[in-house]
A and B are shown apart, each in its own frame.
Chain A
Amino acid sequence: MSLIETSAIGPATPAQVRTVEEIWKEEPGLWGFLTSVDHKDIGKRYIVTAFAFLALGGIEAAVMRAQLARPDQHLLSPEQYDQLFSMHGMTMIFLYAMPILSGFSNFLFPLLLGARDMAFPRVNAMSYWVFLASGIFMYAGFAIGAAPNDGWFNYVPYSEKAFNPGLNMDFYALGMIFLGISTTIGALNFIVTFLRLRAPGMAINRVPVMIWGTLTASVANLLVIPAVSLAFFLLWTDRQFGTHFYDVSAGGQPLLWQHLFWMFGHPWVYAIVLPAMGMVSDGLPMFCRRTLVGYEAVVLSTIATMVLGFGVWVHHMFATGLPAMAMSFFSSASIIITVPSAVAIFAWIATIWTGRPVRTTAFLFFASTIVLFVIGGVSGFMTGSVPVDWQLTDTYFVVAHLHYVLIGINLFPVCGGLYFWFPKITGRLLDERLGRWNFWTMFLGFNIAFLPMHLTGLLGMPRRIYTFPADMGWDTLNLITTLGAYLFAIGVALTFVNVFLSLRRGRAAGPNPWNASTLEWSVSSPPPPYNFAVIPIVQSRHPLWEDELGNGVARSTLDSGLYLDAGRETIATSMLDGEPDLILKMPDDSISPFVLTLAMSVFFFALLLRSWWLAGLAAAAMLVTLIAWLWPRRKLEQRVDGVRA
């Protein structure tokens, strides 16, 4: 038992800074790339990969919009169209929307919390590699023409073997189980990091809202990912081993698929917007030069939204003939949930109203979220009502609704977050002039594309048809949508252009270009590998604004605090009030996460190809890697010396 006496020190001396730099820096070259467990590297990789999937999903959408620009077109065959809309939905929802938020949260968590890394750095690296590998896995199906073709929610019986004999559904089923591993271990890491790695003094009412958003999303993911993994596993055994989970002829229940899928699916919708709403709650006030109005209300409503979000899944199933009692219950839950989810909207409006807005590009993106969220929220409220849903389900009205929600409360805040945190991530500011063009093309393009789509749906155009006849009154609306979609695509492309140009030519940012208030802005841009030379001691919600806020706010100490240099170390604190209670020994860089992911990839491909001996071999490799990974180490103080009798 080693008790280490740790004293707070004043500003770290240059020699002390060099010592921690030496301890935390990663090896150069390919080996360093493959073994790095630095949350900042992992966060950046998540962001880049998720944006790459956004681009792929966008191209798929662009092809579909070309097909739908005019009636009676045959650019695509029905089968190609089916695969495209399934891949588009799967890509955007699973490979872009959640991973992009994981990217920002990974980069920001330890910096916002005053820690040197995430609670489980190697698990973190693994969650990225598995995300990448599962994305490649599902796209491998697309590459050989066997992509999922039953929509992203993949209803049975059409996805059963009898109706879908190819590998399409096996790619999707195994790929989703594979991806679920990444999301689950990522969620676990966010939760434990939140509970244990906040800087001394950072009580839970002092953490940024974005952290709360990610925490609630992670708790939800931890509890609902097993539902979708199980649903896909049962589908896979139905297809490969002749089980009868969804097969009516032998006592199976097709609706069980819909229950399991939406028990996952609806909480997931909140999981991919709550962290993004947190970005707005933290970023928007910085450009209003004041603190967020109603922090407590926003945090509590974030949690309330997530809790209620577990009880609304049946509103996806109103048209399946469920008992009226069940529908009434889920309909009222779906309508009540608008109350907590609207709290943030009013907080943001009040923040702008009572602040002194600085109209940067980031501000425009954050503020536009309010508009888009209201439109998407109202259309969601409408379809939460059973009779309205019966009229509108499976029409383009629902497509319009879900795009307002997912683009409005995920992509727009993410772009705001990109303009806001890009200087922290790279050390350079994104170009503001190009930023205006970027914002306005995206905002106009998006609304031109999707606002008329509500009408298309009200006029009865069903979703997921590969073409439509000319005399239905849908022609003009579809043409407008296609033109708007292309304008929107140009807008998104401008984001990438701005990133590429600014990476090389952008203005140097300095530590705090926006004069923002939270801990990440107290360190250099980009942050050093160890994040904080001394662990700060936090006494308020806005450590960098304590002078401006004045009125007796206790002072945080940022340049003096705990200094740890016996290997990679950071401080664990108590769960609620952030009292230091342990020095955590952090692992060095490691190849295990990458090797384990490789073995898992072989395992899933072997299952796909029904090569059981190869699957067994890969499973053995996974086990050996895992045991090596988990073997207690003296350096991490996980064991005592093994010499005593």
Chain B
Amino acid sequence: MNQAAAATFTLPAGSIDHRGVGWWGLLCAIASEGALFGYLLFAYYYYAAELGNNWISGPMPSFRLALPNTIILLASSATVWSAERAMKRDQRKASLLWLSGTLVLGIVFVIVQLLEWKSKSFSPSTSSYGSLYFTLTGFHMAHVAAGLIGIVLAIIWCARNYFDSRRHVPLLIVSGYWHFVDAVWLSVFFTIYVSPRLWS
């Protein structure tokens, strides 16, 4: 670029693939929200280390609902990835179908999680464990809800033919956020359901 005055650039304009600033904004938002869950998990392990295993209210958290629900959420990551891939191949109808599948799986996750909440013998005001259990899973549910609003918007936008194989950054952002929500769930799942078994 030393002969800049004579240079000609051929550049795409607007929101294109991962070069659009929106994608970079998402990465920063994910870093910040990831940190938020980091602090929540820090709080969990801090209590656990200070108070030992008796800290847990009620029986040992059961895999009965949580494990299938985890698989459902992971499947939704796969469907949203497929939606993205279909769009990159200009298969818009397929993309729409995969997005709808993601929406259904996400809603099932929420319903199962609500059942899990209902089955608990303690409430947020019973003990510090109850407070943290509901806050941690509640923060995650709030993120799932935000992700689902994003999925609904992506469905509307796809249905209105806003995107094609090159221009679909909003779809990338929604799907990137959804993957993040799923990844966070894995750490929440490990912390609440697996970690107490490791030191009991």
Contacts and interface: CB of A to CB of B under 8 A. Distances in A.
- Chain A partners chain B: yes
Interface of A: 1-8, 10, 119-120, 123, 184, 187-188, 191-192, 195-196, 200-201, 222-227, 229-230, 234, 237-238, 241-245, 247, 250-253, 256, 259-260, 263, 537, 539, 554, 557, 560-562, 566, 569, 571-572, 579-585, 623, 627, 630, 632, 636-645
Contacts of B166: 1
Contacts of B149: 623
B88 interface: no
B147 to A, nearest CB: 14
B5 A6 contact: no
Interface of B: 1-2, 4-16, 19-21, 24-25, 28-29, 31-33, 35-36, 38-40, 42-43, 46-47, 50-51, 55, 124-132, 135, 149, 153, 157, 160-164, 166-167, 169-170
10 contacts: A1-B167, A119-B24, A192-B21, A230-B39, A250-B126, A583-B13, A637-B15, A638-B15, A639-B157, A641-B161
A537 B12 contact: no
A582 B8 contact: no
Main secondary structure of the interface of A (DSSP, over half): mixed
A1 B39 contact: no
Given A244-B125, A537-B4, A585 B14 contact: yes
Given A4-B12, A222-B28, A242-B124, 16 more contacts: A1-B164, A4-B10, A5-B8, A5-B10, A10-B5, A119-B21, A123-B25, A226-B36, A227-B35, A234-B135, A242-B125, A256-B43, A561-B4, A632-B15, A639-B170, A640-B162
Contacts of B164: 1, 640, 644
B24 A195 contact: yes
Contacts of A1: 12, 16, 164, 166-167
B6 A230 contact: no
Given A5-B8, A639-B162, A196 B125 contact: no
B4 A638 contact: no
Given A119-B25, A572-B21, A638 B167 contact: yes
Contacts of B15: 585, 632, 636-638
Contacts of B46: 253, 256, 259
Nearest to A586: B21
Contact of B9 (A2, A6, A230, A247): A6
Contacts of A237: 124, 131, 135
Contacts of A251: 47, 51, 55, 127-129
Contact of A8 (B6, B28, B167, B170): B6
Contact of B14 (A557, A581, A638): A638
Contacts of B170: 630, 632, 638-639
B2 A554 contact: yes
Contacts of B25: 119-120, 123, 188, 192
A196 B16 CA distance: 14
A244 B130 CA distance: 8
B29 A188 contact: yes
Given A8-B5, A120-B21, A260-B43, A637 B167 contact: yes
Nearest to B20: A582
B125 A241 contact: yes
Q: Which 5 A-B pairs have the closest CB atoms?
A: A637-B14, A226-B36, A243-B131, A639-B162, A251-B128
Contact of B8 (A8, A227, A253): A8
A163 B130 CA distance: 23
A3 B128 contact: no
A569 B13 contact: yes
A120 B126 CA distance: 44
A642 B162 contact: yes
Contacts of A7: 7-9
A601 to B, nearest CB: 20
A358 to B, nearest CB: 33
Contacts of A241: 124-125
B8 A223 contact: no
Given A569-B13, A636-B15, A184 B32 contact: yes
B16 A582 contact: yes
Contact of B127 (A184, A250, A259, A260): A250
A581 B128 contact: no
Contacts of A566: 13
A560 B167 CA distance: 31
B125 A572 contact: no
Contacts of B19: 572, 581-582
A250 B131 CA distance: 10
A123 to B, nearest CB: 8
A263 B32 CA distance: 14
Contact of A244 (B21, B29, B39, B131): B131
A10 B5 CA distance: 7
A224 to B, nearest CB: 7
B1 A537 contact: yes
A238 B43 CA distance: 15
Given A561-B4, A640-B167, A243 B124 contact: yes
Contacts of A557: 4-5
A634 to B, nearest CB: 9
Given A196-B24, A537-B4, A636 B14 contact: yes
A227 B7 CA distance: 48
Nearest to A567: B13
A515 to B, nearest CB: 25
